[in-house]
Amino acid sequence: MNAADRWEYGSVFPQLIPTGNTRTELPPMRLYGSGRQALHALVEFGRRDRGWTAVHLPAYYCPEVVESVADLLPIRRYDAGPLGRQEPPDAGPTEVVVVVAYFGAQPTLPATAAEVIVDITHDPTAPWADQLAADYLFASLRKTLPLPDGGAVWSHRRRPLPPAPSADPEHLANAGRSLAAMCLKRAYLDGVSIDKATYLTLAAEAEAGLRSTVVSAISEYSRHVLPVLPVAELRRRRIANSVHLAAALDGRPGVTVHGRTFGVVLEFDTPQRRDTVRAGLIARNIYPAVLWALPAQATPSRQLDLSRRMLYLHSDIRWRDTDLDRVAAAVRALCDEPADRPAPGPTPRHAGYAAGALR
């Protein structure tokens, strides 16, 4: 089987170090092993050194990130998400509010006496970031960059940062597994005789380990690769791909297309149509993400409904116009099928990992 026979779209990055003529000057960042670790370290620091007594999180948010700070402070949820009205948090002056830049859209910060943290994972180098009146920003770096691990905290307002972390051996081992999976995936896509299950298993094991909230320094690989990546060019190409894909999908029955700087969000009219399209895409080796699968008991109905009707399509540097057009054709064909088709069968074993939210 050659490389052409192994085409797929979405899922996590293979190993690659893009080159370019320009480098983006990143703000002074405190680097961590993951985005969850970065937030955990920041909230722990805020509790200890800044007197934070509770943390307010939006209702539409990654459950694993919520869990990463659940042992540090009482959690308050406020009814906010990527679409529709935003209910402001009722936060006191000793509390902290987390606001999310959903899919790269510039957030509106609440008028509050509390300190504000912005999760800017979906577009960490957005040009408006340094204009936000937020106390802190944090991001998971491996969502937009081809890195096996990495999270960051910084403050344009010169707020004090948490102390630099030391390296945790278990985290470094998991980062190594993640990098090994990326290398094997690169070889597989290039046509090398490798069983796909090999790198999928490694990647899943690494992801399970990277969910740990034990705070660690970033791996040496990611630390050294990050400064040489042409971050601005990667962002420009991601946005161009998103524009191309969104335009090719606009006007389909049963779905509203939202082109964003992070990628393309598909908002279906019903959960059943979303699930049918998702299963059909996976069967075609196109792996969308569900950002996020939210707990029914703890989520306002409008946010839960949206989470059950959305899919996210990647638009990063891996894809050319021919790839985007192939994906668009598949989505169009699936959207044109009757909406009352029987429910799809079980999702393939690897697709939950490939289509999930990997922070």
DSSP label at 344? P
- Amino acid (one-letter) located at 239: I
pLDDT tens digits, 45-80: 999 999 999 999 999 999 999 999 999 999 999 999
> What three-state secondary structure class fits 4?
helix
Rounded-to-integer distance, Cα 102 and Cα 267, Å = 14
Segment 6-17 shows an average pLDDT of 94
Rounded-to-integer distance, Cα 117 and Cα 134, Å = 6
Cis peptide before 292 (omega within 30 of 0): yes
- Average pLDDT of the residues of the chain: 92
pLDDT tens digits, 269-302: 999 999 999 999 999 999 999 999 999 998 999 9
Rounded-to-integer distance, Cα 140 and Cα 291, Å = 14
Cis peptide before 128 (omega within 30 of 0): no
pLDDT tens digits, 318-355: 999 999 999 999 999 999 876 555 545 544 444 433 33
> Residue 167 is inside which H or E element, if any?
none
pLDDT of residue 348: 45
pLDDT of residue 25: 73
State the pTM of this model: 0.92
Parallel, antiparallel or unpaired: strands 30-32 and 151-154: antiparallel
pLDDT tens digits, 92-123: 999 999 999 999 999 999 999 999 999 999 99
Segment 230-241 shows an average pLDDT of 96
Rounded-to-integer distance, Cα 342 and Cα 322, Å = 31
Lowest mean pLDDT among 23-32, 174-183, 308-317: 23-32
pLDDT tens digits, 71-90: 999 999 999 999 988 899 99
Rounded-to-integer distance, Cα 170 and Cα 167, Å = 9
Helices 169-189 and 196-210: crossing angle in degrees, nearest 10, is 150
- Amino acid (one-letter) located at 81: G
Q: Tell me the two tokens of residue 229.
A: 């990546």
pLDDT of residue 32: 98
